Amino acid sequence: MAIIINLDVMMAKRKMSLNELSEKVGLTLSNLSILKTGKAKAIRFSTLEAICKALNCTPGDIIEYTDDENP
């Protein structure tokens, strides 16, 4: 099983740069980059909420679950 982070997809749909999202959400570029590349081990609900507000989306638009055993 795998959790897939689609932050880059939502940012592209909203035509928002990492710098702009960083300013709106109040996170450092490095922390957003870690999340965007899927290397984050966890995310706070308050951070997820701020990202969703900035991108005008839902958590399901950003986080996806895939069962690797059943393609």
Q: Say how far apart CA 22 and CA 2 lie, in whole Å.
A: 26
Per the structure, the complete domain to which residue 28 belongs is given by 2-66
For residue 14, the domain's CATH number is: 1.10.260.40
Kindly indicate the confidence band of residue 68, based on its pLDDT and cuts at 50, 70 and 90: confident
In a domain, 71, yes or no: no
What is the Cα 47 distance to its own chain's centre?
A: 9
Burial class (CB in 10 A: 0-12, 13-18, 19+), 7: buried
pLDDT tens-digit profile of 1-27? 689 999 999 999 999 999 999 999 999
* pTM of the predicted structure, to 2 decimals: 0.87
- Domain membership of residue 36 (yes or no) is yes
The answer as to whether 57 is a domain residue is: yes
Asked, for residue 53, whether it belongs to a domain, the answer is yes
Q: Considering its fold, how many domains does the chain have in total?
A: 1
